[in-house]
């Protein structure tokens, strides 16, 4: 039995969760634990019980509540409210989350969604940047990653993981059409503020300037780096 429609699983609540959600949770606990749950809360007025649960789960997503409910199926005794909240939002292992982020960002570089067990891991990866995640090992990036993950998870609410933005044509694949190329350049300009359709004084210089910035350790958007590398490769083919 699901608390809400599956399509709402990653929706970020914009208002306190309706008491109906808490009521459905409590009814589910009664079905799972019977008199054990009733005895646990026998001193609390049923209406007030629903209100208390509604207040405490107000910033939890439907996916988290479903996770907590699923974890209860293996427990012989009903959880207390704090125990349920911990089951619904378990702590993340930073190193395991890091490896998930590396795999996920690598997939997104191929225009794939990636597998994300929690949206907070994705948003921590965005904060650290895909470039650094994919080019630095665990020991090198550990302090930054743990700080970003801790900060993101402390927010309590997370936007769902968005679809991948765009990707350049992979090596060995067909060359994009003129329309696709122009569409990519327009999207690149909108995302990072770089207009590659404008005519610079030396149209061959900009990709090398971008790569020089990368070599100096500057933080350059992966989209710009990919476009610059593609331009350099194209120039070599022509030469």
Average pLDDT score, the chain? 78
72-86, 150-164, 190-204: which is most confident: 72-86
CB 56 within 8 A of CB 89: no
pLDDT at position 227 is 77
pLDDT at position 197 is 56
Distance in angstroms (rounded) separating the CA atoms of residues 165 and 110 = 10
Ramachandran angles phi, psi of 64, nearest 5°: -65, -40
| Of residues 128 and 236, more confidently modeled | 128
Sole residue written with tokens 């994705």:
122
Q: What is the mean pLDDT of residues 180-190?
A: 57
Instruction: Band the pLDDT of 204: cuts 50, 70, 90.
Output: low
| pLDDT tens for each residue of 110-159 | 889 999 988 889 999 999 999 999 999 999 999 999 999 988 888 877 88
Instruction: Band the pLDDT of 15: cuts 50, 70, 90.
Output: very low
| Statement: residue 28 has pLDDT above 80 | yes
Going by C-alpha positions, the residue among 229, 167, 224 that lies closest to residue 191 is 224
Lowest mean pLDDT among 108-112, 164-168, 194-198: 194-198
pLDDT at position 54 is 92
| Of residues 23 and 91, more confidently modeled | 23
């Amino acid at each position: 039995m699901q608390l809400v429609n599956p399509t709402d699983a990653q929706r970020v609540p914009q208002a306190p969760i309706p008491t109906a959600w808490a009521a459905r949770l409590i009814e589910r606990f009664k079905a799972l634990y019977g008199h054990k749950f009733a005895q646990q809360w026998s001193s609390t007025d049923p209406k007030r019980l629903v209100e208390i649960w509604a207040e405490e789960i107000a910033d939890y997503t439907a996916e988290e509540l479903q996770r907590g409910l699923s974890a209860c199926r293996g427990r012989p005794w009903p959880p207390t409210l704090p125990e349920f909240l911990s089951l619904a939002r378990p702590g993340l292992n930073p190193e395991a989350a890091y490896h998930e982020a590396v795999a996920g960002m690598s997939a997104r570089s191929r225009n794939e969604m990636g597998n994300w067990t929690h949206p907070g891991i994705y948003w921590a990866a965005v904060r650290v940047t895909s470039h650094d995640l994919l080019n630095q090992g665990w020991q090198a990036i550990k302090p930054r990653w743990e700080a970003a993950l801790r900060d993101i998870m402390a927010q309590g609410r997370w936007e769902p993981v968005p679809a991948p933005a765009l990707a350049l044509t992979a090596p060995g694949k067909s060359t994009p059409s003129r329309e696709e190329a122009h569409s990519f350049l327009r999207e690149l300009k909108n995302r990072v503020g770089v207009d590659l359709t404008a005519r610079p004084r030396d149209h061959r210089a900009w990709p090398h300037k971008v790569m020089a910035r990368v070599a100096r350790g500057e933080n350059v958007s992966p989209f710009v780096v990919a476009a610059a590398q593609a331009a350099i490769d194209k120039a070599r083919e022509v030469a």
